[in-house]
Chains A and B, each alone.
Chain A
C-alpha cells in the first residue's frame, strides 16, 4: 500500500466508524427531502396564474378578467422572451399565457387549472380572430425542484466541515505535527484527505438521491451522466473551498464559526429552498459568488429542463474556474502548524 492510498483508507475508516457523524450525514438530507415533500404536498396553490406577454393594442378583450382576484396576472415583456413564458407554462409555473402581440392564448393540457381558464378565455374570444394553442408538460412538484438544492446543501456542509474542520482539528491535536515528522508531504496529505472526502460525499449524494427517488420519483428530463459530472465538479469545488479554511486556522471553534459564517448565507442565498427569481438584483448578484448556486442551477436545468452538456457549460466552466482558484489559494496559504 503506498502512502497515498494508506492515508485515504485511514481517513475513510475514521469517517465510516464514527457512526454518529456517518448516519447524520446520510439521514439529515433524507429527512429534509421527505419533510419538505410532505409539507408542500397539498395543492395549496388555488390561485390561477396568467402570464401576459406584451400589451393589448386597442381594447383588451380580457379586461373584465383583471377584476377577478383569484387570478394572478403577471406581465412580461422587456426581460423575457415568449419562449421563456411558454417554458414556465410547460412547467406549470403558469396556468395560461396570453400573447397580445400575436393574439394567441396558450395553455398546458396537463395542468389541473387550465381547463377552467381555457373555457373562460375561449368564451370571450369567439369570432375575434384570436388563436388557441396547447402545450404539454408534466407538473414540477416542489420536491423535484428542491432535491438538487438539498443534495447540494448536504454536499456543501460535508465538504466544508469534512475537510476544513477536520484538518484544523488534526492541526490542533497534533496529528498534523506527527505526520510532518514523517516523509509525507503536505500535498500528499491534503490530496488524500480530499480524495477520501470526495468518495464519501459522492456516494452519500448518490445514495440520498436514489433512496428518496424510490419513493418520490423525481422528474428527470436530462441525462444522469451530466448530473453526475456536475455533482463531481461541485464536490471538488466545495472541497477546495474548505481547504482554504483548513490552511491556517489552529482553533476548532474559530474554524467552525467561520465555516458557519460562510455556509449559512450560501445555503440561504443559493436558492436551495426558494427561487431567487424576484429577489432584489443585489441578492441575485451576490448569489453568483457561491459555488452552490451554480451547482443548483445546473442540476435543476438538467433534471427539470432536460439541459444537455452544452446548456450547462456555463455552470461547469464557473465551477471549474472556482475550483482552480480555491486550490491555488489553499496551496499558497497552507501551513502544517
Chain B
C-alpha cells in the first residue's frame, strides 16, 4: 500500500536534550497507525513535527509523496494532547467557529451524530467532562473530512467507559477510510485499534510492524509468570522486579519441569504474549504512565 505520510531521518532537539533522533516511518493509507512509547519517549515531538506544528531540526516529511505545503492543514485533522478551547462559547458555537475555517466542512448534523454530541451542544466549553471534551476535540479534528487524522494520546486520563466509547468513535472514522495516526501509552488501546504499530523510546523507533508480526517475531508460545521467592532461576527465565518471566512453546513439559525442580507455583500466571510484554521486552521497562 502506498504510504500517505513518509518520514525520513527526522530529528529534533531542545537545547541539550535530543527528543527525536533520526526517525524513519511510512504510514500506509487507510489504516490506524499506532505510535507507542512511554512518557518522554518523543511521541508528541514526533507527531507535532508530522502535523507541521513544530519544525524539525533535520529530516524530511512527505505527504502523498510531496513536501508539506499550505494545503496540508486543509487535508488533515489534529487533536492535541491538551488543548484549551475558546472560553465562554458553547460546543455548538465552537463547532461553527472551526467549520468556518475550512473550505468544505462536514455538516454539523453529521459531526454531532458521529461524535455523539447531542447532549452537550449547548454546554459551555469549560463545563465539559474529560470524555465529553475529547469527543468534542475529535469532532473538531474531523470537521475538514481529513485524509489523515492525528490523535495524540486521546484517551489519557479518561475512565474505562469513556475510553471504550472513544474507541468506538475511532472505529467509525476508520470505516470512512480515513488514515489515523495515534499515539498512546495504553497497549490495550493499540491492540484494539491499530493495524500497525511503531514502538518508540528515547527518541528512536525500536520496532515497526503489525502487532501480530511483532509478537510472532519476539515471542514463541506462551508466557509464564511466577512470583520470585529467591533461589535459583529456572533455565531460560529472567527476573523482572519481583517476578520471574519465562517463555515456552511446550507448556505441559515446562510446568512439569518447574514442579520437578521444586518451584512453588502459587500465584503463577500463564498468558498469551501481548503488546505489554513486547514493550517490556523491548524497552526493558514497564510502561511509565
Q: Which residues of A does B touch, CB under 8 Å?
A: 1-3, 5-7, 9-11, 13-14, 17-18, 170, 173-175, 177-178, 180-184
Contacts and interface: CB of A to CB of B under 8 A. Distances in A.
B88 A183 contact: no
Contacts of B98: 182
Interface of B: 51-53, 70, 73-74, 78, 80, 82-89, 93-94, 96-102, 140
28 contacts: A1-B96, A2-B100, A3-B100, A5-B100, A6-B96, A6-B99, A6-B100, A9-B97, A10-B86, A10-B94, A14-B88, A18-B87, A18-B88, A170-B84, A174-B80, A174-B82, A175-B83, A175-B86, A177-B83, A178-B80, A178-B83, A178-B85, A180-B53, A181-B52, A182-B98, A183-B70, A183-B73, A183-B101
B86 A14 contact: yes
Given A17-B88, A181-B51, A181-B53, A7 B83 contact: no
B103 to A, nearest CB: 8
A184 B97 CA distance: 11
Listed from nearest, the 9 A-B pairs whose CB atoms lie closest are A6-B100, A173-B84, A17-B88, A181-B78, A182-B101, A14-B88, A174-B84, A10-B97, A183-B73
B74 A183 contact: yes
Given A1-B96, A17-B88, A177 B53 contact: yes
Contact of B97 (A7, A18, A180, A183): A7
A302 B93 CA distance: 43
A6 B89 contact: no
B76 to A, nearest CB: 8
A173 to B, nearest CB: 4
Nearest to A21: B88
B50 to A, nearest CB: 12
B97 A181 contact: no
Given A6-B96, A13-B89, A13-B93, A181 B84 contact: no
A177 B80 contact: yes
A89 B78 CA distance: 69
B97 A175 contact: no
Contacts of B100: 1-3, 5-7
Contacts of B84: 170, 173-175, 178
A4 to B, nearest CB: 8
B84 to A, nearest CB: 4
Which of B51, B52, B53 has the most chain A CB atoms closer than 10 A to its own CB? B53
Contacts of B97: 6-7, 9-10
Contacts of B83: 174-175, 177-178
Contacts of A183: 70, 73-74, 101-102
Given A178-B80, A181-B53, A183-B74, A6 B88 contact: no
B93 A184 contact: no
B73 A181 contact: yes
A6 B86 contact: no
Contact of A14 (B78, B87, B99, B101): B87
B151 to A, nearest CB: 12
Contacts of B70: 183
B285 to A, nearest CB: 29
A13 B99 CA distance: 17
Contacts of B73: 181-183
A18 B86 CA distance: 12
A18 to B, nearest CB: 6
Contacts of B82: 174
A10 B93 contact: yes
A224 B101 CA distance: 39
A337 to B, nearest CB: 8
Nearest to B70: A183
A13 B88 contact: yes
Contacts of B102: 182-183
A113 B189 CA distance: 88
B117 to A, nearest CB: 18
Contacts of A1: 96, 100
A177 B53 CA distance: 8
Nearest to A337: B53
A175 B85 contact: yes
B71 to A, nearest CB: 8
Contacts of B78: 181
Contacts of B86: 10-11, 14, 175
Nearest to B87: A14
B88 A184 contact: no
Contacts of A178: 80, 83-85, 140
Contacts of B89: 10, 13-14, 17
A174 B129 CA distance: 18
Contacts of B85: 175, 178
A7 B86 CA distance: 10
Nearest to B100: A6
A9 to B, nearest CB: 8
A18 B80 CA distance: 26
Contacts of B51: 181
A17 to B, nearest CB: 4
Which of B86, B89, B94, B98 has the most chain A CB atoms closer than 10 A to its own CB? B86
A18 B84 CA distance: 17
A178 B51 CA distance: 11
A182 B97 CA distance: 11
Contacts of B94: 10
Contacts of A5: 100
Contacts of A184: 101
A125 B74 CA distance: 87
A96 B70 CA distance: 72
Contacts of A175: 83-86
Nearest to B90: A13
Nearest to A16: B88
